[in-house]
Each structure stands twice: as C-alpha cells, then as structure tokens.
Amino acid sequence: MIIGQAVPIGEEVAGIDTAVVASGLGVIALLNGLGRLAWGSISDKIGRMRTVMLMFVVMIIAFVAVLPYASNFAVWLIGMCLVGFSFGGFLAVMPSITADFYAFTVRAPRVTLGTDQAATAVAGSES
C-alpha cells in the first residue's frame, strides 16, 4: 500500500515536484526486485522468522527515522527504497513460511493455490 502512495508522500511530505517523484518509482521498483533476491538469500542463512523481524526493523527505520524527515528527493528516495526493498522480501519469504506451517497438514490447497496463481498470471488480473 505504501508504494502506491509514494508519489503523494513525496509531494506532500518532501515537497517534491510530481514528475521528479514519479521518476523515483523506477528505482523503488528495482529495489523491490533486488529485495526479493537478497531477503530470500538472507532467510536461507539466518532463518525465515528472523528475516521477517529484520525486514520489520528496516521498515520501522524507514517509517520513523527517514520518511518523516524527507525534505528533499534524496532522503525521500532512500526511505522509499528501504520500504520497497523490505516489501520485496516479504514476497520472497512468506510463501516459504506458509509452507513451513501448512505444507504437511494441508496438501491439496497448496497444489490448487499454485495452479490458481499460474492461471491468473497467464490470463491476467482476476478483477
């Protein structure tokens, strides 16, 4: 949700021009993709739950210590990139956590969920 509000945050909090803020969205998207790879690798080394806690710490730092004080494009971009990096990590780690908790007790939905996601990816949005 915060990524969808990146432009209004940049405009209202940091006072940055709309076109400049919109150009930063590409960088945020790049960090989101890199976060998937990085946090997935980190979770393999330190464990999934510790990784999730670390991602929360990074987001808290961004929300409490960086974004409220974003007075220019660079500070705003750093805060939003921290958020995007962590959000990407959740997309990488949460399926594994779900499998840890439910894979052996509920097998059938795992297969149908994967099939549903693949069909949605091929066919497009559900709405």
Q: Is residue 72 part of a domain?
A: yes
Q: CA 5, 15, 34, 100 torsion: positive or negative?
A: negative
The yes-or-no verdict on residue 51 having pLDDT over 90 is yes
Pairwise pLDDT comparison (116 vs 78), residue with the higher score: 78
DSSP class of residue 63 equals I
Q: Is residue 91 part of a domain?
A: yes
Residues 6 or more apart whose CB falls under 8 angstroms from that of 99 comprise: 110
Q: Is residue 60 part of a domain?
A: yes
| Residue span of the structural domain in which 17 resides | 3-122
> Residue 60: left if φ>0, alpha if ψ -120 to 50, beta else—which one?
alpha
Q: Is residue 13 part of a domain?
A: yes
> CA–CA separation, 56 vs 110, rounded Å?
27
Q: Residue 15 in contact with residue 60, Cβ under 8 Å?
A: no
> CA–CA separation, 43 vs 52, rounded Å?
8
How many Cα atoms are found within 13 Å in the side-chain-facing hemisphere of 113? 10
pTM (2 d.p.): 0.73
Q: Is residue 21 part of a domain?
A: yes
Q: How many separate domains does the chain show?
A: 1
Pairwise pLDDT comparison (114 vs 57), residue with the higher score: 57
Q: Is residue 93 part of a domain?
A: yes
> How confident is the model over 39-49, as a mean pLDDT?
94
Q: Is residue 127 part of a domain?
A: no
